[in-house]
Amino acid sequence: MVSFQLRRAALVVALAAAASSAWSETLDFKQCVSIALAQNPDMTVAQAQIQQAEAAVRQARGNYWPKLNLSLTATRTNDAMNAFGIKLGQREATFGDFGFRDFNSSNPNIFSVAPHDLNYPGNVTNFNPRIELLIPVYNGGMVGDYVKQAQSFVKAAQAGDQVARQQLTENVLKAYQGVHAARAYVQVAQEGQAAAEEYVRISNQLLKQGMAVKSDLLTAKVNLEDVKLKLITARNAEASALDQLHLLLGKPLSEPLDVGEPVMPAMLDGDVDTLRKEALANHQGLQALRSQADGASAAAAAARASKRPQFNVMLRQDWNGKTLNSDASSYTAAGVLTWTAFDGGGSQGAVDRAEAQRMEASAKLDQASNGIAYKVGDAKRQALEAEDKANARKLALEEATEAQRLVKKRYENGLGTMIELLAAQAQLDKARADLVAANYDQAVQRAELKLAVGVLDADKL
């Protein structure tokens, strides 16, 4: 009977474990980052910006090529001038269209006679298929400058994408480690609850033996209720951390999710000066601003190019007729040289505006460089402080554990008070919680330093 019950219990546990694994997806840190990079809306925005910039390059390069326009115009009119022009285009104009029917050489006022057929041509119909080829020959380098500007924006968008990836990686790390930190707080609260329950049991036992007063038992029970509330708070924090991870991964909050092993980024080697040089040379945020500054310079060059002469060639073939099946064709070939000699300062205003935008982009780059240099130094200091804090919290936990053990033994022997015991336990709980916070801060500050330098990578954490 006992053997059957044991087998049944084992089966129930196995089924529960299987159900848990089937319904809850466990992801390690790299998997979380990979999913976030694929599904997070911020990355969709970054990719869309790259696609926009690449399309702008194709659009700018398109101005190098000839443009072929096809058109078909159908016209019906009795306007005298247009009707006469249409008849000429159809190669069907006659002397009668000039009003020669009204000519009378014997009329002494013949030059005052209004030709009826010329002034009132009647309704005329025309179909005009046209092929027109516009060939750019010289534009003062404006198209090339626009291409350079668009290419610079592509580089800026690509660098911005890398910045977004690193920022998202850090956010995932905070949420991922936040789950582990919350669970560590849950464990601290559970250990505190177990200790509080033990104190209730000890104080009750000592009260029965006449070695404690009733107030000790009541104090121990009040402490137990406080610890239970802390456990509820810790479990709520765990649920909140999992929800934040859901949002970063682009997963529904209702979808079961669990995290794998905790992660601890490696400490970035090098002094502040070395890390600053690396950041100023390679940080993707600065690369994006440099590319934007290059784009602003190209825009200024394009504005200056608009003040130079431009030459284009136009080739056109027309057909005109009363129907589409007409062989009345004509061609036009033209070379067009344009040069805006005076526009009230509009072109110069465009140049001045582009130059001001270039100066603004350059100033933003300098400002960002100084900001990155400061951030690297501050992040390095914060990371070193986090290292020292983690080591100090470990030592504090060891000391608080020993102090609680000694005070507990004194109370059990009737040599201490409940107040002293609870104070020692509170110190122990605080030391445990402080170590959890220090470990979390250590991981985050190491990641912050890598992010500041621009080298945060989930594959090289």
Q: For residue 397, what are the CA distances in angstroms to 224, 406, 426, 437, 441?
A: 21, 14, 12, 13, 17
pLDDT, block means (10 residues), the chain with 461 residues: 44 42 71 86 83 89 92 93 88 79 71 76 91 92 88 87 88 90 84 76 74 72 82 88 88 86 88 90 89 90 89 94 87 92 86 90 91 92 91 89 84 73 78 85 91 88 80
Per-residue pLDDT at 100: 72
Whether the model clears a pTM of 0.75, i.e. scores above it, the answer is: no
Q: How many CA atoms lie within 13 A of 242 on its CB side?
A: 21
Q: How far apart are CA 397 and CA 404, in angstroms?
A: 10
Superfamily holding 23-64+141-314+345-460 = Outer membrane efflux proteins (OEP) (1.20.1600.10)
Residue 144 token pair? 């090339």
Per-residue pLDDT at 105: 67
Q: Judge contact between 43 and 164, C-beta under 8 A.
A: yes
Residue 50 token pair? 């790259």
Residue 190 token pair? 């559970």
Tell me which amino acid residue 454 is. G
User: Position of tokens 């137990």?
Assistant: 224
Per-residue pLDDT at 23: 54
Q: Which has the closest alpha carbon to 250: 160, 172, 170?
A: 172
Q: How far apart are CA 375 and CA 448, in angstroms?
A: 9
Residue 432 token pair? 């445990």
Residue 303 token pair? 């504005």
Q: How far apart are CA 182 and CA 194, in angstroms?
A: 18
Per-residue pLDDT at 24: 60
Per-residue pLDDT at 334: 95
Query: What does the CA dihedral 293, 295, 301, 305 come to, rounded to 10 degrees?
Result: -160
Q: Which has the closest alpha carbon to 158: 43, 249, 299, 36?
A: 43
Residue 14 CB contacts under 8 Å (≥ 6 apart), including other chains: none
Kindly report the backbone phi and psi dihedral angles of residue 383, in degrees, each rounded to the nearest multiple of 5, phi listed first.
Answer: -65, -45
